[in-house]
Amino acid sequence: MTTTVDAGAATARTSLADYLSSVLRRLPPLPPLDLDLTQAYGHVLAQDVPAPHQAPSFDYAAIDGYAVSADDLLGVARMTRLSVIGDLTAASWRPVRLTPGTCFSVAAGAPLPGGADTVVPADWTDQGMAAVEIHRPPKRGHGVRRAGDEIGAGTVLARAGVVVTPALLAVFAATGIAHVVVRPSPRVVVAATGDELVDLGRVSQPGQVVDVSSHALAAAASEAGAYVYRLGICDDDPEGLRGLLEDQSNRADLIITTGGTGVGPGDMVRRVLARRDGVRAGSVAFTELAVYPCSMLGFGTVGVEEVPIICLPGDPGAAMIGFEMLVRPAVQLLSGAQPVFRPSVRGHLLTAVQSPLGMREFRPAQVSERRGGGYTVQPLAGGPYTLSGLAASNALMVLGERIGSAPAGSTVDVMLLDRRR
């Protein structure tokens, strides 16, 4: 299991800001791929997307009614009578044209006949078939959508780094786009290590600890947009572990391990991965961080393909905080997204908290909108109880290195955790 470094120990630790700035730049976005638009939802654009055509691409009736020339209604005080010379629907394709004193009955979506510039709503007429009486003349241009009104050809519809949402997908389709160049979703492999681990559905006892972290991390990686392969539990056999991780480097864009990051004899992940090896490329640096409750992280590469690997502690609460600090931004970077960090706000702390000096603490919290604006922040169980706190949280309170305590009523930073639905 993990080394949860005691918060009181004052060894030289790396600040989270320094650590992330050195590590995250080693994660370039994955190579782009051209996807059919039907597959593109949820992916991140690798290029700016200009509109190849304008939208709408032709003039059409926006409402059900009668397509007229406004000139035929000019000077009319109350009522006009026009001959109805045809019916048009969205499926009509033959070019047709008004003559003076005539109109077409049109359904919404029907192409506008030549010479027409206005659609009179059906409700404003007697809804006649061969001829129609118009009770109320609309303004010129009423009920019509003109080619190019909404989107001009060449308009940049979205920039590189933007996620393809349902509405963006719709705008792409409406301007004639059928393919977009996006980053693939990263393939993330999750492995739990530790001879003590047993699978779900048991109760932990000495020597048999339920593997909680790999399941939680797999779900968190899915939530972050990755394709996830959970390897399950790996024994602490050095050659076996090394081989397993190098095998995965063929199919993974990122490997996550949980457990074995400590300095004890049983901390096999660290022993296997930290040493450099002339034959097999890649190595992992383990860094003691000024972060509570996740003070040890490994980062490096595995295999000749130099697949990035992140080694998290085994303790589930610490592993989840490590995921938030490093894995989630890493998944975002690989997938090409910007920004990579969650949004933060400042809020009014409801209950005093203590926090280890010299450590940046991430503590689960419940953030609520406050009447009249702003937020309130209710701290939840942190430290060794982070896991149960996280389950009830919608945010992480961030208590900086210099904060030893924060009184009720003070203003604190909180990172908002969005929820799936």
Question: In the numeric block, which tokens belong to residue 103?
Answer: 């109109």
Q: Which of 374, 404, 405, 408 binds a second copy (CB under 8 A)?
A: 374
Give least dist CB 279 to a second copy, A: 30
Amino acid at site 186: P
Which is nearer to a second copy, 154 or 277 (by Cβ)?
Answer: 154
Residues forming beta bridges with residue 80, ordered by sequence position: 134
Q: Which is nearer to a second copy, 152 or 243 (CB)?
A: 152
Nearest to 182 by CA among 38, 72, 299: 38
> In angstroms, what is the minimal distance from the CB of 208 to a second copy?
7
How far, in Å, CA of 381 to CA of 389, rounded? 5
User: Tokens for 332?
Assistant: 């975002």
Cβ nearer to a second copy, comparing 173 with 304? 173
Residue nearer to a second copy on the CB measure, 303 or 322: 322
Looking up tokens 């027409």, which residue turns up?
116
User: Computed over its alpha carbons, how large is the radius of gyration of the chain?
Assistant: 31
The only residue of 5, 269, 290, 399 in contact with a second copy, by rule CB under 8 A: 5
Residues 139-158 interacting with a second copy (rule: CB under 8 A): 143, 145, 149-151, 157-158
Cβ 108 to a second copy, closest distance in Å?
Answer: 5
Under the binding rule (CB under 8 A), the answer on residue 48 touching a second copy is: no
DSSP state of 89: -
Whether residue 194 contacts residue 209, with contact meaning beta carbons closer than 8 Å, is answered with yes
Q: Is 78 in the site for a second copy (CB under 8 A)?
A: no
Options 64, 72, 246, 253; binder of a second copy; rule CB under 8 A: 64
Which residue(s) pair with 149 in the sheet?
A: none
Residues 382-421 that bind a second copy (CB under 8 A): 384-385, 387-388, 390-391, 393, 418-421
Q: Is 357 in the site for a second copy (CB under 8 A)?
A: no
Min separation Cβ 280 and a second copy, Å:
27
The whole-angstrom distance between residue 318's C-alpha and the CA centroid of its chain comes to: 23
Query: What mask, x for binding a second copy by CB under 8 A, covers residues 167 to 206?
Result: xxxxx-xx-xxxx--------------xxx---xxxxxxx
Q: Which of residues 91-110 bind a second copy (CB under 8 A)?
A: 91-93, 95, 107-109
Distance of closest approach, residue 134 Cβ to a second copy, in angstroms: 13
Q: End-to-end distance of the chain based on CA atoms, in angstroms?
A: 33
Contacts of 416 (CB under 8 A, 6+ apart): 342, 343, 344, 345, 367, 394, 395
Residues 278 to 307 in contact with a second copy, rule: CB under 8 A: none
User: Which residue lies nearer to a second copy by CB, 93 or 279?
Assistant: 93
Cβ-contact 252, 307 below 8 angstroms: yes
Asked if residue 89 binds a second copy (CB under 8 A), the reply is yes
If binding is defined by CB under 8 A, does position 355 make contact with a second copy? Answer: no
According to CB under 8 A, which one of 75, 207, 278, 407 is a site residue for a second copy?
Answer: 207
CB of 20 to a second copy, least distance (A): 18
Q: Does 131 contact a second copy by CB under 8 A?
A: no
Choose the binding region for a second copy from 70-78, 242-250, 300-308, 312-320 (rule: CB under 8 A).
312-320
Amino acid type, 79: M
CA atoms of 68 and 90, how far apart (whole Å): 17
Are 306 and 281 in contact by the 8 Å Cβ rule? The answer is: yes
- Reading across the β-sheet that carries 179-183, which strands appear in turn? 33-36, 179-183, 44-45
Helix (H, G, I), strand (E, B) or coil at 72: helix
